Structure 1
């Protein structure tokens, strides 16, 4: 009996000893974890004292959506999400990096350069950013990207008169019946009007909206799409805003990155709703009529719709990623596709007589006769040469 008691006591004492040892180990682990967290989080808090977890999470969500559009080669739609991510969290390096890449791949190299310089201000020792800035400076100087618009204008207007009314990152233009030229400037969000004598004025002052893109004229009014704000505005020819409609979304009358706009002869307005892969039609009062088109790579489908033109009973849409022109009727019914070897990256499209004037980032300007199918290519240029508008060649 005594031995049993002693044995029991020994077991009890041993368990107490083991329990005490376990407690000591647990306390040590807790203190160790505390110090690890303390020394890990302290630098983060000191570097980003104003970090807001909710905003950072929102920025990450915008960034993820932007990456999806970027991987689908919808660079302007991607840029919109990357820009939102940067607004939520200015030090978001990946978002800033992708924002610059998106602008560059969309053709807005000056805007891309601006974004890279902003990134360099935050990360001044980043060698990769410095190299990209130098490379972009070199390419701009060599290819003459910033002088392409001046080159076109100098054939008709004096360059000295244009300097005051410069339009960086020109996105679209339209001509009224009095031969006044209207040009949208994406990066500074303004519209410049130039009369036949070369006298210019900022009919829409810089900073209006987020990023003005497409423009078209009907009678004494003109419509402008705002890519960044997902809005469409109707102005008088004097620059007075008459109405606006739209908003962000995918429902009827809402947009996600509106691009090209075009009136038909009755005043109906067709708008390329790029991020929603569709075309929307509105009446003269801005009321929604119908929408058509869907995302895809097959017939009647759109991967990156950019601009739009109306000729007769047909509506022509440039699909930059699919390298084609998709044709619909006024009711949204699919008619056909226009395919040609010269369509490498078609963007702008307009009408002259029975012909389509198509601007292609890689091929040049293509004149396509819708009746005969004849094609004429003006100014074929590559990434390292300037356009030569005195040359043209007939295409088979």
Structure 2
């Protein structure tokens, strides 16, 4: 091809993006050519997760082509992933103005702006007014096909699916987020006999009460029957109509024995411990016990006939009444992550604060036939309500989330195997909570409005059992005096089993300590962590060290965390270059969890606690009785809303200089979301 022809091809090969236009005097706009080249470099840097490099390229591109909507859009993306959300929002608003009010790009971008802006000001509290509405159902009857009958409770799983306990059809049924039945279990040879409630023990085993069978079945984590606890009768450890169950912090099982009007306690191996709930001094006794939940050494038990919730200690001693008014007929009680209690009460879902005894109505079912026998929160921010009378499980979603839809981000486009394109998509709700359990049916990939060809669903990160950790080391003089504790911390972090990507020394000039491979020996890792006395300084830099530690995780496993080993105080230069909110956003917007490991029994600073809260992490004292290893092992089971798909593009490449668009749409029941981006193919 002649040089002139090649130049024309490069200028025009932009996939419809008008960077280069004729100058009007027979030549070409050199500024537009320069803008296009810098834009191409910026897109490629972004897809390598080199966000600072991408920002520089997009800024240079804008200097040649001010006000170009697509460049502004991408610049906002790069600032967002860098944690600079205010700057990102400004760029996106400018892009909306440049795109125009009626363009398809404006619709996508406006939704993104609204979600990010609202999310940054959303801090739900106990007195908020969030309402849950029905977003869909898992029906027991589909046409003439009976799926299950009379659900009494649900047990959400980490993969987004849920066990439905079907009292009427004597089975438990596992249903995925799309309402597809994945598994059925009907128990041993003689089957379940009116199963009622199910909970998960600390070892992963499941316990299933059988109302008419007068027993509790022990199941494996996969639902296979293993044995029984108890039998029908009135003696110790026996039942007449066992219903609701709960597990306390020590692994003890509590069973509501409806027919005997009592609660029985069993150790983790199923041995009977004691019963309580009968008449005693100051307590008339349970009349119709239903829901039960354990919290901080106390047992809360609902009584549907008395319309009350009582309090006992773990030894069965009566402590008083939590709720005496405002209930219609309470059934299930479930402990939420924030310490509040979710209660089902006739056709209502209630939130109860055990500290203040305040009740707030969360939502209700308006179906003609309603009795919510059980309700639990799932990992996607929903509440699943088992409607016994209506023969279905209702999926209840916050009203605002229904309106906002799903927050979908195409995080990365990989074109190395062109024309086979790989797309990494992040799916969250508007509060940054990951949406798990999706599969190929939930995604639509399009190019220029046409469905992409040869689509494949490659992976879902929530199913992965691998994780990456970057260790960040406090290099303050205070940390220097805590070397024995540091050795213990490094040992326990290594024992968690995650791949150690890097060891960052946060000195005056943060640097990567040298470690060999992803599984270095404990002695080598400990020696590198100790460093030398010159590594420690009053001018140590937490902010720069954290950025470096987080950056090392960007192209690794989707389950990832920075583990900060600290004396507890961040020093005077902690936020000299990067602010606290910017650091929190950098971690959260890239799916990185922050853990603070405290040496010497010292408390964590407010800044460390903030970073943990904003990213789903935790402050860990090195002296906690169970150690820090179990918590860090939990990284492998963290919910992650990242999905990888591939397709074969049919778009022309123009010698690798064309900007090729791609759009991802995600659908889940009544909610949806989409994102549009693009990429450059390899230069031919």
TM-score (norm 2): 0.32
Corresponding residue for residue 246 of structure 1: 230
> Secondary structure at the residue paired with 1:326?
strand
Counterparts of 1:343-362 in structure 2, within 5 Å, are: 343-352=327-336, 353-362=338-347
1:315 to 276, 290, 299: 299
Asked if 1:288 is matched to 2:263, the reply is no
In structure 1, distance between residues paired with 2:283 and 2:236 = 23
Q: Deviations over 1:117-169 (max 9, x none)?
A: xxxxxxxxxxxxxxxxxxxxxxxxxxxxxxxxxx95726x7999999783321
Task: Assess if the C-alpha contact under 8 Å between 1:300 and 1:337 holds in 2.
Answer: no
Task: Work out the CA distance in 2 between the residues paired with 1:391 and 1:160.
Answer: 26
1:166–1:299 distance in 2 versus 1, CA, 3 Å:
farther
Q: In structure 2, do the counterparts of structure 1 residues 381 and 252 end up closer, same or farther at CA, with 3 Å as the change threshold?
A: same
> CA separation in 1, counterparts of 2:369 and 2:240?
34
Note closer, same or farther for the CA distance 1:182–1:215 as it changes in structure 2 (3 Å cut): same
Distance in structure 1 (CA, Å) of the matches to 2:281 and 2:162: 35
1:189 matches 2:170: yes
1:203 aligns with 2:184: yes
1:254-293 to structure 2, matched below 5 A, reads: 254-293=238-277
Q: Secondary structure at the match of 1:249?
A: coil
Corresponding residue number in structure 1 for 2:196: 213
Greater relative contact order: 1 or 2 (C-alpha under 8 angstroms, separation 6 or more)? 2
Coordinate RMSD, CA, aligned: 3.4
Matched, 1:154 2:136: yes
Question: How far did 1:212 drift?
Answer: 0.5
Q: Secondary structure at the match of 1:210?
A: coil
Q: Is the 8 A contact 1:209 1:226 kept in 2?
A: yes
Moved more, 239-248 or 165-174: 165-174
| Distance in 2 between residues matched to 1:203 and 1:153, nearest whole Å | 25
In structure 2, C-alpha distance between the alignment counterparts of 1:331 and 1:178, rounded to whole Å: 35
User: 3-state DSSP class of the match of 2:206?
Assistant: strand
Map of 1:231 onto structure 2: 215
- Number of residue pairs matched by the alignment: 240
Match of 2:314 among 303, 315, 330: 330
Residue 327 of structure 1, CA deviation: 1.2
**Do the aligned partners of residues 190 and 307 (structure 1) sit closer, same or farther apart at CA in structure 2, a change above 3 Å counting?**
same
User: Cα distance, 1:273 vs. partner?
Assistant: 0.6
Moved more, 196-205 or 263-272: 196-205
Q: Which residue of 2 aligns with 1:135?
A: none
Change in 2 beyond 3 A, CA 1:164/1:287: farther
1:361–1:298 distance in 2 versus 1, CA, 3 Å: farther
Alignment of 1:135-174 (within 5 A): 154=136, 166-174=147-155
Q: 1:288 to 1:198 in 2, by over 3 A?
A: same
Q: Distance in 2 between matches of 1:172 and 1:306?
A: 12
Relative to structure 1, is the Cα distance of residues 389 and 212 closer, same or farther in structure 2, using a 3 angstrom cutoff?
same
| 8 Å CA contact 1:162, 1:200 repeated in 2 | no
Q: Once the 2 structures are TM-superposed, how far is the Cα of residue 297 of structure 1 from its aligned partner?
A: 12
Tell me if structure 1 keeps the 8 A contact 2:155–2:199: yes
| Counterpart for residue 379 of structure 1 | 363
Instruction: Give structure 2 stretches of 5+ with no counterpart.
Output: 1-132, 371-393, 401-684
Q: Compare the two structures and name the one with the higher helix fraction.
A: 1
Cα-to-partner distance string for 1:324-381 (whole Å, 9 max, x where unaligned) = 111111111112212253301001110112111110015x111011233332202346
Query: Is the 8 Å Cα contact of residues 379 and 389 (structure 1) preserved in structure 2?
Result: no
**Aligned equivalent of 1:366:** 350
Q: Distance in 2 between matches of 1:343 and 1:210?
A: 30
Give the whole-Å Cα distance in 1 for the aligned partners of 2:297 and 2:140: 40
SS of 1:237's partner is coil
2:290 aligns with 306
Show CA shifts across 1:80-113 (max 9, x none): xxxxxxxxxxxxxxxxxxxxxxxxxxxxxxxxxx
**Structure-2 separation of matches of 1:336 and 1:313:** 14
